[in-house]
């Protein structure tokens, strides 16, 4: 793949990430923010009066302009990184079309980068977690993420190596099983973090975590679909032009 194609894919990846970020922003605002407000209300109600601090940035600004800025910048950044990963993966993960490769990469990245770490260390709203352990919790989360990504890469390499001897189906089963087993061992040996206050509303916690998961699913699914279409049009223009051409040629 030449540098011009990589550059074009990078630009398309960032644009697709921006569009996917806009979709995720809608999910974050309508599903996530109400639960954040409830968690903040719980935190304020249980904090001593002398511990209330003046906000440098108002809650209204945080939940609108601040949220939009953060999500959209994240979308552009992860879109660019995913596009570079796509350039490396294209043609190396099987005989898939550019569109199918984008969807496969997005699905695997969602699983490895977010879902696997999330199941061990799920997202928490305000008022959940000891401020004194935030460094430890952050380190554990990123350690789980790094392990998950490395295990996913190792599983892909294992499946590719076993495919000539076992066939694609059985090689995939062995690779996925190995990934699940080693991930389960990581779950078992890494420390457990349980700092949810006993009186914190379970419904708020559950809905917050579901909204965090929904945001990531929207972001990655939206990116996979949008970037896949853009990559297909760039790398395989004949297939995208075939449908309009056949429509014009069809008898009236």
Query: pTM to 2 decimals?
Result: 0.84
Q: Compute the distance between CA of residue 213 and CA of residue 129 in angstroms, rounded to an integer.
A: 19
Query: What residues contact 84, with CB distance under 8 A and at least 6 apart?
Result: 6, 10, 13
* Maximum distance among all Cα pairs of the chain, rounded to whole angstroms: 79
DSSP-derived letter for residue 191 is P
> In the structure encoding, which two tokens stand for residue 185, read together?
């061992």
Q: Compute the distance between CA of residue 173 and CA of residue 178 in angstroms, rounded to an integer.
A: 9
Q: Compute the distance between CA of residue 199 and CA of residue 43 in angstroms, rounded to an integer.
A: 11
> In the structure encoding, which two tokens stand for residue 35, read together?
């639960």
Q: Compute the distance between CA of residue 82 and CA of residue 13 in angstroms, rounded to an integer.
A: 7
Q: pLDDT truncated to tens, each residue of the chain (252 aa)?
A: 778 889 999 999 999 999 999 999 999 999 989 989 888 888 777 766 545 555 666 777 777 888 899 999 999 999 999 999 999 888 777 778 889 999 999 999 999 999 999 999 998 887 787 778 888 999 999 999 999 999 999 998 999 899 889 998 999 999 999 999 999 999 999 999 888 888 888 999 999 999 999 999 999 999 999 999 999 999 887 765 555 555 545 554
């Amino acid at each position: 793949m030449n540098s011009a194609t990589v550059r074009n894919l990078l630009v398309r990846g960032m644009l697709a990430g921006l569009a996917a970020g806009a979709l995720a922003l809608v999910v974050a605002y309508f599903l996530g923010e109400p639960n954040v407000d409830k968690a903040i209300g719980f935190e304020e109600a249980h904090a001593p009066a002398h511990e209330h601090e003046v906000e440098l940035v108002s809650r209204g600004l945080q939940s609108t302009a601040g949220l939009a800025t953060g999500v959209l910048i994240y979308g552009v950044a992860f879109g660019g990184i995913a596009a570079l990963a796509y350039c490396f993966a294209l043609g190396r993960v099987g005989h898939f079309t550019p569109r199918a490769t984008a969807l496969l990469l997005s699905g695997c990245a969602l699983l490895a980068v977010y879902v696997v770490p999330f199941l061990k260390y799920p997202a928490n709203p305000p008022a959940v977690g000891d401020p004194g352990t935030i460094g430890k919790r952050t380190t554990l989360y990123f350690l789980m993420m790094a392990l998950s990504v490395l295990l996913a890469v190792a599983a892909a390499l294992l499946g590719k190596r076993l495919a000539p001897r076992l066939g694609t189906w059985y090689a995939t089963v062995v690779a996925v099983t190995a990934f699940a087993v080693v991930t389960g061992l990581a779950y078992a040996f890494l420390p457990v973090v349980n700092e949810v206050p006993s009186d914190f509303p379970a419904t708020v916690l559950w809905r917050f975590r579901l909204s965090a998961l929904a945001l990531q699913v929207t972001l990655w699914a939206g990116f996979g679909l949008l970037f896949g279409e853009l990559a297909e049009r760039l790398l395989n223009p004949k297939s995208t032009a075939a449908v309009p051409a056949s429509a014009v040629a069809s008898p009236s």
